[in-house]
Amino acid sequence: MCGIIGYAGSKPCAHGVLLSGLKALEYRGYDSSGIASFQGDQIKIVKAKGKIKELEEKIKDVPVVYYLHDFYTCCINPNLMKNDNQSCIDRDIPCEGCYYFGKKAEHLEKVRHFLRAFENRITFVAPAEYTKKHWIAFYPEYADKTIVISHQKAIGEYSGNKETALNEEPLRLGFVGAQKQIKGWDIFKKVVAAAEDAGCNYDFYYFGNGSEKVDGVTAVNVDIATQGKDAMIKNLKEKRISAVFLVCVWGETYSYTTYESHAANCYIFAMKSGGNIPYTVEKNHWGHVFSTEEELVKGILDEKTLREEINTWKKNAAPGAAAYMDNDDILKQFSDKRKAVVDWKSEQISLEQRLKRAALNVIFKELRLKNKQ
């Protein structure tokens, strides 16, 4: 004979509810217990022999790793943009007047409740020093539990695309990434229009898979899903791009395109509000950080000074990486010996669903990861 208890709901501490229920049944004298919970399309099972306290010990000792992909733990708007058009990551502008403000308090209470449930065994992983610094400004109580593990590791050196541009040769300038306002796409279009009006000797390019066409801009399709994970680097090298616009207006927590651009030895234009992009550019001397749109446009239109700036950097800067590999250091966070005994059982799904998943896995391995080595 067995005792069974179930829970359906959204509490972050559902295990606590289930343990309380099991303890209420413990008087029956069972010699083992277990908890099964859904995680995505699988069921996670933790079992233990003996009293309920043995199961409780296993559950409470399981380490928790929380990855700081964005700033959702700080505001219901994960980009920390007031009304989606003004960065507030430095907390130097008031929340009042923002249409996210009304829901912020309730959202943060739920987040803090969730974090408190695991605070004795949680580790926060930030992809960059910039992200860690700004996140612990919101949560100083977790400063000693927050570490930095970058997404990638640099391999070797690439010495190509470091030739200086001759005065009669057009400077090749490119925009890299998504055609979105927060990525600086609108700023780039303003720069293109202003440079055309001023008669600057520039060739503009767009690298990505966006559909918008802009007069005076050559579109280069880049899609890592079909061309491989190094597609952006290869295309920037092939077009011999002198400099790129990474003019995001929100606090990027990492930015793959920053490292891809530098791997192709491209000088980088960044906006001060762009998060880890300007932080990385200034720290490593990879380009020029502008404080405002007006300053950026003015700098681009000063063609003589801009050419000298880029050419000097090309001649004197250390070469970019030959390639970047995925950083598997985060796996060490899961090597703690204090683990529960966990069994995995696949959810019952139809044959059609299984075939679809198998096909998608094949596509992913063959296309997206084909250049991983």
Per residue in 208-240, pLDDT (tens digit) is 999 999 999 999 999 998 999 999 999 999 999
What are residue 326's DSSP bridge partners?
Answer: 152
Residue 15 has what pLDDT? 59
Output the pLDDT for position 91: 79
pLDDT digits 0-9 by tens, 322-373: 999 999 888 887 665 544 444 444 455 677 777 877 777 666 556 544 444 4
Cβ within 8 Å of residue 46, ≥6 positions away: 34, 35, 55, 58, 59, 340, 341, 342
What pLDDT is recorded for position 358?
74
Residue 42 confidence (pLDDT): 56
Q: d(Cα 219, Cα 208) in Å, to the nearest integer?
A: 8
Which domains, from first to last, does the chain contain?
14-62+343-368 (no CATH), 66-149 (no CATH), 171-325 (3.40.50.2000)
Give this prediction's pTM.
0.76
Query: Residues 163, 257, 64, 340: is their CA dihedral positive or negative?
Result: negative
Q: What residue ranges of the chain have pLDDT lower than 70?
A: 1-2, 7, 9-20, 22-23, 25-30, 35, 37-46, 54-61, 334-349, 361-373
